Structure 1
Amino acid sequence: MASISISELKPGIKLEKDVHTPLGGLLMRKGTVLLPRDLDILRAFMVPQVEVDMGEAEPQNGFSNAVGQVAAAYERAVDDPALPTKMASFYEEYEKLISLMKSAHQSVIAGGLPIYELRNQLEAAIGHIKEYNPLTFVPRTMNEYDYIFHNSVLCALSSYLLAKWSGLQQKDWMQAAFAGLFHDIGNAKIDPAILYKPSPLTVAEAEEMRRHTAYGYQILKNVKAINEGVRLAALQHHEKIDGTGYPLRLEGSKIHVYAKIVGITDIFHAMTLRRIYRKAQSPYIVLEQIHSEAFGKLDPTLVRIFIQKATEFHNGTKVRLSNHQIGEIVFTDRNQPTRPMVSIGGEIINLAQKPQLYIEEVLSSN
């Protein structure tokens, strides 16, 4: 093992110790075989030197066999011919669930929910959960009038993940998904003229919209296959932990954990989906807004988990910045997950140091 300055590093050398950012975040793990991009990242963070195993380097060709293996594995992952098929299957199950939710809203008006059909289709969609990430998933087709159905299905998937990520017992994961799926079921009893109104609501109309929480609880009250937490999520998902929410102005300890989970996923998808009166917003900007909401409004622990996990696996994601430049995420710091480092034309841009810049749109991911 040897300590070597960044200026002397070459691709193919293996790290013998973890490398951290100046603020203490993990930058690269021990055992990482350095690629050219890694050297750019180290320089961008102004890391002076690292501990390496010089025996791994092959200066003659600039890359070790290990680097070639890493690169080959990466290419196999990106070019995996099964990936399009897996995503196509996921989209198919997703769209079936959208159609079923449309029918369910009509069934509610007629007197009941097709709960077992919905459960089976939700389970089918969750069977493809590895193909889903809240940050990058975009419906293939979406009519603005179908927003409420897409929001419900996406909240179901994201709530399932957040329940899992947050350490809830496995028996809660599917119930949290139900909570996401049915959180706005009370909208089925709202006058469509109010529900789809493109202009601002009157005071009376806004008050009627708020009743969707109570309507939802009543609709779910006698539905089998769901637990009381799912019903409470329909009632409480607009409550805030400081007691400023509605309909009951509950404080944090009185809000069910499913409602806290759905409160986060609902805000995220409500802002990142296209609406009748507003275009979709950048998921990264929305995550920053959710982070600011965590101080007094949303459960801060659940917010931190959601942001970190949703941004965790996106090195290689192609993005468009607010200045219209297109680049690729090369590193995400756990301390500032919404401000990753982006490579543009060979230059590394650290968004943590460029507050005026932000990721406007996620274009594609690995």
Structure 2
Amino acid sequence: MPSLPAAEVQAGSKIIQDVITPLGSTLFAKGKILLPRDLEILQAFLIQHVEIEGSENENKTAEPTKVASKQAAVKTGSIVNETLLSKSNSPLHDEYDKMLVLIKSSYRSVAAASLPIYELRSQLELLISHLNDYHVLKFTPHVLSEEDYNYHNAVLSALTCYKLAGWCGYPQKDWMQAAFAGLLHDIGNTKVDPALLLKPDSLSSSEKEEVRRHTTYGYQLLRNVTAINEGVRLAALQHHEKVDGSGYPLRLEGSQIHFYAKLVAVADIFHAMTLERAYRKPQSPFLVLEQLLKESFGMLDPVIVQTFIQKTTDLYNGTRIRLSDGRRGEIIFTDRSNPTRPMVQVEGKIVNLAIERELYIQEII
């Protein structure tokens, strides 16, 4: 079989040369057997040609493929593609982008086909292998489009839940399942009218009720999926329950809520508020942490919230930041009793954010 355009490659083909992204990273290694989902990943990364086993060009290097891919990417003129190519690359971003493509495809097809749980697990493991490079407050995906909000929320929640499970001292056997809980918690949204999910105005009572059904829809979709445990299914059902019994759909209290669902509740709220939505700009992660602290009194699990805040704000002195008024500076001291409001040095002056409450950290640079 000759070198083929990526659009003509079939599942089951064996790669004989590393597939290189336009930014120079290895997308798929030599010897990989392509799965159906891999074909979508090839297209998402703008790969133009792939060297397949039996190719008459087996002895040639992969460099022409790399160059051709890069040239083709430039010719597209797509804003999204240009944005992707303009970002610095990293293994974490590479695996994140692959996970995003896979979860997007999985969510869209789940109503008509079984969930590709083993492919999801394989890619999730690859993503988590770079977890040391993931900082909850610092990590920004390459491309953030409003229509992909649910998928970004899923992948980010998976990463955060994995970390949070470890921080909270849960057994290591639960960490991957907690990541699955984050990845799949909103899968029930696939059965909700998209217009309701994107509606910027207040929802009517009947519309709210329909949106809230995503929790039961999610449990139903995951009920017969293998390789996940019951806690993952319960996280889909219970992640909007509140420890004081005011949540939905079952108005469960405290210990009645599975701890995966409690982890997901914190991760979901954090990423929902810090990601850009069709009707709302992203909020400062530091202000969101403060909001989570307020909700920990009667609504979210207080131990999980406090652990999340302490761990994510454990930043080294000298961390560069941008304040809400646009000025740039660096953290010089963090008082653990006010972890979201450290002392920062700005333009030669020390600003105590615990005192100057009108200011806050907008982002870490």
Give the TM-score band, short-chain normalised.
Answer: 0.7 to 0.9
Q: Check the 8 A contact 1:331/1:342 in 2, yes or no.
A: yes
Decide which of 194, 201, 204 is 1:192's aligned counterpart: 194
The one-letter code of the counterpart of 1:143 is S
- Tell me the residue number matched to 1:46: none
Structure 1 equivalent of residue 146 of structure 2: 144
Aligned equivalent of 1:335: 337
1:178-201 per-residue CA deviation (whole Å, 9 max, x = no partner) reads 000000010111122222223332
Paired residues for 1:194-233 under 5 Å = 194-233=196-235
Structure 1: which amino acid aligns with 2:123?
Q
Deviations 1:292-344 (A, max 9, x none): 10111001011010000001134332222122221111222221110111111
Higher-Rg member (1/2): 1
Whole-angstrom CA distance in 2 between matches of 1:142 and 1:238: 25
In structure 1, distance between residues paired with 2:254 and 2:245: 7
Relative distance call for 1:125 and 1:318 in structure 2 (3 A) is same
The match for 1:240 is: 242
Partner in structure 2 of residue 28 of structure 1: none
Give the one of 127, 130, 133 matched to 2:132.
130
| Cα distance in 2 for residues equivalent to 1:358 and 1:180 | 28
Distance 1:315 1:287 in 2: 20
Which of 308, 311, 334 is the aligned partner of 1:309?
A: 311
Question: What's the % identity of the aligned pairs?
Answer: 61
Amino acid at match of 1:264: V
Deviations 1:223-278 (A, max 9, x none): 11111110000000000000000000000110000000000010000000000000
- Cα shift at 1:96: 0.6
What letter corresponds to residue 244 of structure 1 in structure 2? S
CA offsets 1:119-173 (integer angstroms, 9 cap, x no match)? 1111111010011011111111111010000000000000000000000000010
Deviation at 1:202, TM superposition (A): 2.3
SS of the residue 1:353 aligns to = coil
The answer as to 2:275 corresponding to 1:268 is no
**Cα distance, 1:87 vs structure 2:** 5.9
8 Å contact kept, 1:107–1:114: no
- Answering whether residue 258 of structure 2 is matched by residue 252 of structure 1, we say no
Residues 163 and 172, structure 1, Cα contact 8 Å, conserved in 2? yes
Q: Flag structure 1 segments of 5+ consecutive residues without an equivalent.
A: 1-84
**Secondary structure of the corresponding residue to residue 110 of structure 1:** coil
Cα distance in 2 between the residues matched to 1:256 and 1:105: 23
Q: Hey, what does 1:354 align to over in structure 2? A: 356
| Aligned residue runs from structure 1 range 1-366, under 5 A | 88-362=90-364, 364=365
Aligned-partner residue type, residue 278 of structure 2: I
Q: Contact 1:160 / 1:174 at 8 angstroms: preserved in 2?
A: yes
Say what the alpha-carbon RMSD is for the aligned residues: 1.4
Instruction: Give 3-state SS (helix, strand or coil) of 2:362's partner.
Output: strand
Question: TM-score, normalization: structure 1?
Answer: 0.74
Distance of 1:228 and 1:346 partners within structure 2:
55
Cα shift at 1:347: 1.7
Unaligned runs of 5+ in 2: 1-86
Question: How many Å separate the matches in 1 of 2:113 and 2:316?
Answer: 44
Please give the alpha-carbon distance, in whole angstroms, between the structure 2 residues aligned to 1:203 and 1:138: 35
Letter in 2 for 1:189: K
Equivalent position amino acid for 1:147 in 2? Y
Question: Corresponding residue for 1:54?
Answer: none
**Counterpart AA for 2:158:** A
Which structure's relative contact order is higher, taking Cα pairs within 8 Å and 6+ residues apart? Answer: 1
Aligned positions, number: 279
Q: Which contiguous aligned blocks of 4+ residues in structure 1 show a shift greater than 6 angstroms?
A: none
- Structure 2 distance, partners of 1:353, 1:87, is 39
Q: In structure 1, what residue type is equivalent to 2:241?
A: E
1:354 match: secondary structure: coil
